[in-house]
């Protein structure tokens, strides 16, 4: 059975860019009332304008600035939201700046590398108090948990994504009947890559065209479509879904 999003309240944390923004666009189109949240006020308000500027927005759209890495900020966000139906967490900060080969990785950097897990924990703990029993949580991990990379210094980032994935599966058991699922994106053309050089980004696009089974880099909308399926399919819970253009079969 597919649950309609019409009249449902969806909270997206990380909604000002990339996958979260694409989820906000799609859920607003489908008639949900969407709370878009992220850390930077100007960026968030521009994102809300872009959703409201869509040809057809059936639901309401609200912006709430909050920091996923601050537990009080997460508690305040969900106190303000009140009862709601679906949570989507895509927020991540400066991920590509946290890369380092093991031998050179400082303890400080490694601890920052685990922020993605702590942010997810703060959000899920605060959200569970007012989330509908027939609702859902969708968390974001990474395909790197299935396909370790020899280079790139992503060992700790991958560990954080693995922690998010196992946390999500455990919550599917603990919070049932609330459904909890996890997407594991491959290489997606979003803000995550904004700190990398233009030449590196075009190398990535070329690699995708030549090597990936689907012959292109992931687009935020493709990931959002997968999130929508997990949110609305009432028979799916406890899964980690790779949405990776076939990266894991290479
Ligand atoms: N893109 C990829 O290739 C890829 C691959 C594997 C996994 N992933 C995962 O996919 C998820 C989404 O990434 P994306 O590609 O959509 O990234 P993105 O375009 O960089 O979006 C990240 C979002 O997180 C928000 N954010 C950052 N720090 C925050 C904080 N402290 N509190 C609240 N919001 C915060 C950002 O907003 P502000 O800047 O306004 O704070 C932005 O809205 C992440 O979990 C990432 O690890 C992505």
14 lines ligand 1 (CB under 6 A): yes
Residue 2 lies in a domain: no
Q: What confidence score (pLDDT) does residue 40 get? A: 98
Residue identifier of the C-alpha nearest atom 46 of ligand 1: 92
Residue 150 lies in a domain: yes
What value does the mean pLDDT take over residues 21-36?
96
Residue 250 lies in a domain: no
pLDDT digits (tens, 9 = 90+) for 163-193: 999 999 999 999 999 999 999 999 999 988 8
181 lines ligand 1 (CB under 6 A): no
Domain that holds residue 174: 9-191+221-242
Residue 29 lies in a domain: yes
245 lines ligand 1 (CB under 6 A): no
Residue 211 lies in a domain: no
138 lines ligand 1 (CB under 6 A): no
Q: Is the pLDDT of residue 1 over 80?
A: no
Residue 204 lies in a domain: no
Name 231's bridge partners. Answer: none
Q: What confidence score (pLDDT) does residue 55 get? A: 64
Instruction: Give the separation between CA 79 and CA 81, rounded to whole angstroms.
Output: 6
What value does the mean pLDDT take over residues 119-127?
98
Q: Closest by alpha carbon to 225, among 200, 199, 243, 201?
A: 243
Q: Are 108 and 208 in contact (CB under 8 A)?
A: no
Counting residues of the chain whose pLDDT is more than 70, the rounded percentage is 99
What value does the mean pLDDT take over residues 23-28?
96
What value does the mean pLDDT take over residues 24-35?
95
59 lines ligand 1 (CB under 6 A): no
Domain total for the chain? 1
Pocket test of ligand 1: the residue of 22, 185, 208 to mutate, having most ligand atoms within 8 Å of its CB, is 185
Residue 208 lies in a domain: no
User: Mean pLDDT in the chain?
Assistant: 95
Residue 215 neighbours by CB distance under 10 Å: 11
pLDDT digits (tens, 9 = 90+) for 138-164: 999 999 999 999 989 999 999 999 999
Q: Is the pLDDT of residue 246 over 90?
A: yes
Q: Which atom of ligand 1 is nearest to the CA of 68?
A: 32
pLDDT digits (tens, 9 = 90+) for 55-68: 677 779 999 999 99
Residue 147 lies in a domain: yes
Residue identifier of the C-alpha nearest atom 11 of ligand 1: 90
Distance 1 CA to ligand 1 centre (A): 30
Counting residues of the chain whose pLDDT is more than 90, the rounded percentage is 88
At a CB cut-off of 8 Å and minimum separation 6, what does 184 contact?
Answer: 141, 142, 143, 145, 146, 161, 165, 240, 241, 242, 243, 244
Name 65's bridge partners. Answer: 38
Q: What confidence score (pLDDT) does residue 4 get? A: 95
Provide the CATH number for the domain around residue 79. Answer: 3.40.50.720
């Amino acid at each position: 059975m597919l649950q309609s999003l019409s009249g449902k309240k969806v909270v997206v944390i990380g909604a000002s860019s990339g996958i979260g923004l694409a989820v906000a666009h799609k859920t607003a189109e489908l008639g949900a009332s969407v709370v878009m949240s992220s850390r930077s006020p100007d960026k968030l308000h521009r994102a809300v304008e872009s959703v409201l500027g869509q040809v057809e927005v059936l639901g309401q759209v609200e912006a709430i600035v909050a920091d996923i890495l601050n537990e009080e900020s997460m508690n305040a966000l969900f106190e303000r939201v009140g009862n709601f139906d679906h949570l989507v967490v895509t927020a991540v900060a400066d991920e590509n700046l946290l890369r380092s080969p093991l031998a050179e990785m400082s303890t400080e950097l490694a601890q920052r590398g685990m922020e993605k897990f702590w942010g997810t924990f703060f959000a899920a703990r605060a959200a569970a108090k007012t989330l509908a029993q027939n609702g859902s949580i969708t968390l974001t991990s990474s395909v790197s948990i299935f396909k370790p990379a020899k280079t790139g210094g992503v060992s700790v980032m991958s560990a954080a994504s693995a922690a998010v994935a196992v946390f999500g599966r455990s919550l599917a058991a603990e919070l049932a009947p609330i459904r909890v699922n996890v997407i594991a994106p491959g290489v997606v053309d979003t803000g995550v890559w904004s700190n990398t050089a233009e030449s590196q980004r075009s190398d990535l696009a070329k690699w995708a065209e030549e090597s990936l089974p689907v012959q292109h880099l992931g687009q935020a909308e493709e990931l959002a479509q997968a999130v929508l399926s997990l949110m609305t399919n009432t028979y799916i819970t406890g899964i980690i879904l790779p949405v990776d253009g076939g990266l894991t079969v290479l």
